[in-house]
Amino acid sequence: MPRTIEQWHARFVEQSAWTAPLRAFLFSQVNMEQSSRLLEVGCGTGAITQSLHDQSSRQVHGIDKSFASLDFADQTDSLTNFSCADALALPFQPDYFDITFCHYFLLWLPGHALDTLHEMIRVTRPGGAVLAMAEPAYTKRIDYPQNLEPLGNLQTLALEKQGADPAMGLRLPELFSQAGLKEIRFGQSGFQNTVGEVPDWLDSEWDTFKDDLRELVPSSELNDLETLDRQAWANGSRILHIPTFYGIGIVKE
């Protein structure tokens, strides 16, 4: 059964919690406190934009192609200016924003990631910043114990079937260089788990996993892997690492 928009928003809020410390660090690197105009490209239901209103004078904008997502976002974040638009044709004049960013987004545009960065640069003022805040490299995923290694291969397969690039995080330095940004910085998000505790996000993770793989893998196989996964979290043996990268670039004067 397809997820409701409320369920998707809950998932996006969960993902935004994973990257909250990273976002704080990245914004500190690009003079966030002195920035008055921000744009999130691919804002979805507004899980990120609603956290950006710490200054009343700041203008926050978000664009997405999904009317349903934007309608939900507008109900939960009335302070952001949302627009239904394509990332390849942003409806803004050149040099308008101080910071333009995306979050878990470029992987869904494998053939157009560079063009998207060019558009993000176009609408960002000279000296302003373009950020890719969280782009994973699922092809380098680590699953332990070994009987859980199939999860990484299955997730990569599911993303490829949906048209995504599971290795987008590894491409960020090259893409930022090709886009013509300067002072490019590149790094990896950290993540911490508590040994012997089943994480709060595991139910949502498995709901997503099953949605993605329903047509590709027998339900019995997925149920067996889920049982093994939960047992490993509970007994403290579980290691899950999906390298997730960020890129920062400054628009040339």
Q: Do 138 and 166 form a contact (C-beta atoms < 8 A)?
A: yes
Q: What are phi and psi of 167, to 5 degrees?
A: -110, 20
**Cis amide linkage into residue 145, ω under 30° from 0:** yes
Instruction: Evaluate whether residue 98 is within a structural domain.
Output: yes
> Could you tell me the CA-to-CA distances from 235 to 47, 134, 195 in Å, in that order?
32, 30, 8
Helices (H) and strands (E) in the chain, counts: 8, 9
User: Which sign does the torsion angle of CA 124, 127, 133, 138 carry?
Assistant: positive
pLDDT tens-digit series, residues 182-209: 999 999 987 777 788 888 889 988 988 8
pLDDT at 195: 84
Instruction: Evaluate whether residue 231 is within a structural domain.
Output: no
Instruction: Evaluate whether residue 157 is within a structural domain.
Output: no
Instruction: Evaluate whether residue 221 is within a structural domain.
Output: no
Q: Do 244 and 136 form a contact (C-beta atoms < 8 A)?
A: yes
| Domain span including residue 83 | 5-138+164-194+242-250
User: Which of 112, 105, 130 minimizes the C-alpha distance to 15?
Assistant: 105
Maximal C-alpha separation, the chain: 57
> What is the total count of domains within the chain?
1
Give the predicted TM-score (pTM) of the model: 0.92
Exposure string for 79-115, b = 16+ CB within 10 A, e = fewer: ebebeebebeebebeeebbbbbbbbbbbbbbbeebee
pLDDT tens-digit series, residues 40-53: 999 999 999 998 98
pLDDT at 1: 63
pLDDT at 209: 86
Enter the tokens of residue 147.
């009987």
pLDDT tens-digit series, residues 1-50: 677 899 889 889 888 988 999 999 999 999 888 889 999 999 999 999 99
pLDDT at 196: 81
DSSP code per residue over 63-103: EES-HHHHHHHHHH-TTSEEEE--TTS-SS-TT-EEEEEES
Instruction: Evaluate whether residue 118 is within a structural domain.
Output: yes
Instruction: Evaluate whether residue 159 is within a structural domain.
Output: no
Q: Average pLDDT, whole number, for the chain? A: 93
pLDDT at 55: 77
Q: What is the CATH number of the domain that holds 124?
A: 3.40.50.150
Instruction: Evaluate whether residue 216 is within a structural domain.
Output: no
**Least confident among 127-136, 143-152, 160-169, 210-219:** 210-219
DSSP 217: S
pLDDT at 193: 72
Question: How confident is residue 212, by pLDDT bands cut at 50, 70 and 90?
Answer: confident
Sequence length of the chain is 253
Instruction: Evaluate whether residue 69 is within a structural domain.
Output: yes
Enter the tokens of residue 210.
């099953």
User: Which of 119, 123, 126, 151 minimizes the C-alpha distance to 138?
Assistant: 151
Q: What is the mean pLDDT of residues 105-129?
A: 97
Say how far apart CA 133 and CA 205 lie, in whole Å.
Answer: 20
